[in-house]
Amino acid sequence: MTPKVVRETEPEQRVQLPPAAPAADSYRPNRGTPLNLDWVEDVRANTSAIERRAQTLITRRTVKKEWQAAWLLRAIACTDLTTLAGDDTVERVRRLCAKARQPLKPSLMDQLKIHELGLTVGAVCVYHAFVETAVRALEGTGIPVAAVSTGFPAGLSPLAERVAEIHRSVEAGAREIDIVITRAHVLGGNWHALYDEIATFKDACGSAHMKVILGTGDLMTLRNVGRASMVAMMAGADFIKTSTGKEPVNATLPVGLVMTRAIRSYLQQTGMAVGFKAAGGVRTAKQAMEWLFLMKEELGRPWLEPSHFRFGASGMLADIERQLEHFATGRYSAGHRHPLA
């Protein structure tokens, strides 16, 4: 059940804490399977039907008032707060981590009366060079640090260098590794090479969770997206992720629909659950809710938890904060009053 946030003007000002997600712990984490080319070949994608289904999430699904506020709080909890710019600095990463620890202004939390939720983001995602900085800044919070790796964003450096990069980030304290695949393996239908590459990265990750970035904007067809998703899960992916955020087209709902249905098919065949991460182009509170609706309808309640679902975003948090302030006060504040960090 989604938490209910009550307006400040209502007599009773409180938050109803949600119960634990049903059956979330009954799914086994993904340990991978041998490559099964029959599963890969069975993947089909009817583009027009997929696009129609994705459109219904926008036109037929909506929530308002306190329920909308509650869904937006859930979006914050599932966010990988990210900075992957060429001009990143140590100070910027420290500010990002401060925002991760306290995503909303104290005054807004007072108005919403949600201090008891202990709200934080799902993770902080940075380049390897800033992993140690982020780990120190988040010490004692339980918020994991995710490092993009394996020659991000192109993934075309020599394999030994990509594996070594994973080892360095894990040694520096990263608990999650976002790896990128060689897109040419997908475009050429070289599923053995793709499987071996991802399995090698999984071994290098050790106990760290591995998120496999498919770079869907480069994969040409939705069928390729579905097949790459299946191979990544068989190779041991803990999450499959849409994009690096650097492609011309990044996270879209049709792509998300294909990937979530691949997750569902894999779960049905193996009993193992794989998480999903939408990254690139998710900038508004409205988009965040659309992705949450997709997760709820296609995969169920456990995929509204940070253990199973993440956004890769930065600017989205500022827009969510604006929407929550409007809910609490009835007024929209200027965007500059809600800086990222």
pLDDT in tens, 299-319: 999 999 999 999 999 889 999
Q: How much is the pLDDT for 43? A: 96
Q: How much is the pLDDT for 340? A: 65
Bridge partners, residue 29, by sequence: 273
Determine whether 241 is an active site residue: yes
158-174 tens-digit pLDDT: 999 999 999 999 999 99
Q: Which domains does the chain show, CATH number per domain?
A: 27-332 (3.20.20.70)
Instruction: State the catalytic residue, choosing from 99, 202, 211, 241.
Output: 241
Q: How far apart are CA 146 and CA 140, in angstroms?
A: 16
Residue among 94, 143, 122, 69 at smallest CA distance from 321 = 69
Q: How much is the pLDDT for 57? A: 82
76-132 tens-digit pLDDT: 999 999 999 999 999 999 999 999 999 999 999 999 999 999 999 999 999 999 999
Instruction: State the catalytic residue, choosing from 80, 99, 178, 211.
Output: 178
Alpha helix positions (H), 131-244: 131-137, 159-172, 183-187, 191-205, 222-234
30-66 as b/e: b if 16+ CB within 10 A: bebeebeeebbeebebeeeebeebbeebeeeeeeeeb
User: What's at 136, amino acid-wise?
Assistant: R
Instruction: State the catalytic residue, choosing from 99, 211, 277, 296.
Output: 277
Whether this prediction's pTM lies above 0.75 is answered by: yes
